Structure 1
Amino acid sequence: MLLDNLALFLSIVEKGGLSAAGRERGLSPASVSERLAALEAHYGATLLKRTTRAISLTEEGRLLVDGARRLLAEAEELEAGIRLGTQKVSGPIRLSAPADLGRRYVVPILDRFLADHPEVTIDLNLADGYVDLVGQGLDFAIRHGLLADSSLRSKPLGENRRVVCAAPAYLAANGMPAHPDDLSDHDCILMRFGNTLDREWSFEIDGKIRKVMVRGRRVANDGGLVAQWCREGHGIALKSIWDVGEDLASGALVELLAGYSVGQTALQIVYPPTRVQPRRVRFLIERIAADLPYPSASERISL
């Protein structure tokens, strides 16, 4: 019963409320409140602060979140090992990935993984903005950039070169920028990451990194749509080589300002610092790391 109450407690935290957690688990609000009270009585501590509008974790509650994840992962690992054997995996996996990279590269890997492991289920969140792994109950996420949250652990997948690019049709109609400052005269397609609009693009100019302000009539929070608009000739985009490598190779897009490096960012898998990950999660992380194309930086840059 304790493990069931711990799982319910995590659902309350992830869903942001007792009612939402109850609906997910088929429990009445009264039953959820009763089981939460039993859990607080067991530990002799208040785990949640509740108001009419929201809930928040107490210090003891935050401590229990990490501990509960470890206990539940260990219990599930033990049960799976006994019930299914050491080589079989089962159960849900929740992950997040950038939209364009996820559709293009991660989804095919997930399809093969599901075919190999029929008792596994996948819940994929495609999002280009920041995703709260712990708050949303995700097992791991694939992310570009540096690891901002020092409490997370990471598995590197390689470097990710960023390129400025445009379609031949756009360049034929508007000319090709010869210098980053020329971008002020062009229509650029901008990405929005959450509340942040990526309108400052960094370039290495005369040995120094300088940010150039760009403008454009099209803004999207979906990297795939930005790439589509770029291929259709609507403007210049700053994209990951993972997202536009095939378009550059086919000639659908042309790399611009190659002499002014826009730098590289890390591509990595990040996950909460749970001491024990379920076998299914470990297997999928290993599969993604092994099956992602362009395994070396030199191959990616050569596209």
Structure 2
Amino acid sequence: MPDEINDLRLFAQMVDAGSLSAAARRTDGSTAAMSRRLAALEKRLGVRLVTRTSRRFDLTVEGALFHERAVAILHAVDDAEAEISAQARVPQGLLCIGAPSEIGRKQIAPLIEAFSDRYPEVEVRLVLSDIGLDVIDDNLDVALRIGLPADTGVIAKKLLSSRRIVCAAPAYLARHGTPQTLTDLAVHDCLRLVRGQRVFDRWLFAEDGRRREIQVRGTLSTASGEVLHDWALKGRGLALKALWDIESDLSAGKLIECLAPYHCDEIELYAVFANRRHLSPRVRVFLDFVQEALGEAALDQKRSATKISTL
């Protein structure tokens, strides 16, 4: 039976990945080994499950039915294991966490160290990405992400609320002046984020109770929030950053908040996890741990923001 379950899990991973090569990368295997496992499974079942092409494969009618049943069986197995493990109440095993790069490195990584000290039987794997991680497609137990996910088949738990602010290094403001109104942004060099083919060059503000988008321009753009942060510290332009990413720099005077009367959009950090009736102890205790820790961090951030605004 374990071999059959492993075959079901492997087939589900192949379908989720979309190709044998992608599945091999996700499981640290080889494409040739994946092909042999699939061929052996088809031989045992006596049907062709997929129609292969050079880059991907398509499910046959039998393959689609087999995948549907396989996913249902795997969910049942996972639920059963989680329920038994929950009764034991001993957090252990592998816990895969995904997070945005900057907040992941600065805030989540230290929390994971503290979590590991408290629960030494849990092996934690942290994956950082600015592209955006999916709890299902990226085989994560918990994905920390900005904003609610589009997938309705997962659960999202809000961990932290903050806001974005316009900021710059003192050196930049000394050379170019400090913007006083939103229209002043038109003459400033603004650092912009890139996601895929989209450049985030329209910054959102609130003015007199109304939402207002401002078109910005600049010479530098990047897909990395951390690179953009470094450019801002080096005085290369104005940046729109989450308060939780730059709080220490504001306190130290390395960055200065600009356009404070114009509130930027609020942002929220969510913990996203698969919709299961029985969460494993390691997932449950991690969610409780990170919510408590980030809740305390939010209080410290609020006190720090109040202090900075009164300086």
Q: Give the shorter-chain TM-score range.
A: 0.7 to 0.9
1:175-224: CA deviation from partner (whole Å, max 9, x where unpaired): 00011111111111111123321110011224321111111122111111
Distance 2:280 2:69 in 1: 19
TM-score, normalised on structure 1?
0.85
Of 115, 124, 134 in structure 2, the residue corresponding to residue 113 of structure 1 is 115
What is the 5 A alignment of 1:22-41?
A: 24=28, 27=33, 29-35=35-41, 38=44
What letter matches 1:287 in structure 2? Answer: F
Of 73, 78, 97 in structure 2, the residue corresponding to residue 73 of structure 1 is 78
Distance 1:28 1:129 in 2: 27
Post-superposition offset of 1:154: 0.6
Name the CA shift for 1:185/1:61 in 2 (closer, same or farther; >3 Å): farther
Of 188, 191, 209 in structure 2, the residue corresponding to residue 207 of structure 1 is 209
| 1:295 and 2:298 aligned | yes
Number of the residue aligned with 1:6: 8
CA contact (8 A) 1:294 1:300 kept: no
1:99-151: CA deviation from partner (whole Å, max 9, x where unpaired): 11000100011112223333432332212223232222122211112433333
Q: Secondary structure at the match of 1:122?
A: strand
Post-superposition offset of 1:50: 3.8
Distance 2:286 2:136 in 1: 19
What letter matches 2:169 in structure 1? Answer: A
| 1:217 and 2:219 aligned | yes
Q: Secondary structure at the match of 2:298?
A: coil
The range that moved more, 27-36 or 60-69, is: 60-69
Quote the sequence identity (%).
31
Number of the residue aligned with 1:18: 20
Number of the residue aligned with 2:177: 175
Post-superposition offset of 1:271: 1.8
Distance 2:100 2:19 in 1: 27
Distance 1:215 1:15 in 2: 38
What is the 5 A alignment of 1:64-143?
A: 64=69, 67-77=72-82, 80=85, 86-143=88-145
Name the CA shift for 1:13/1:264 in 2 (closer, same or farther; >3 Å): same
TM-score, normalised on structure 2?
0.83
Distance 1:112 1:13 in 2: 36
Name the CA shift for 1:30/1:216 in 2 (closer, same or farther; >3 Å): same
Distance 1:267 1:215 in 2: 27
Name the CA shift for 1:129/1:259 in 2 (closer, same or farther; >3 Å): same
Q: Secondary structure at the match of 1:10?
A: helix
Post-superposition offset of 1:160: 1.8
Name the CA shift for 1:72/1:271 in 2 (closer, same or farther; >3 Å): same
| 1:191 and 2:193 aligned | yes
Name the CA shift for 1:194/1:3 in 2 (closer, same or farther; >3 Å): same
Note the aligned Cα RMSD (angstroms): 2.9
Q: Give the number of equivalent residue pairs.
A: 296
Q: Which runs of 5+ in 1 are unaligned?
A: none
The range that moved more, 182-191 or 16-25, is: 16-25
Distance 1:75 1:195 in 2: 43
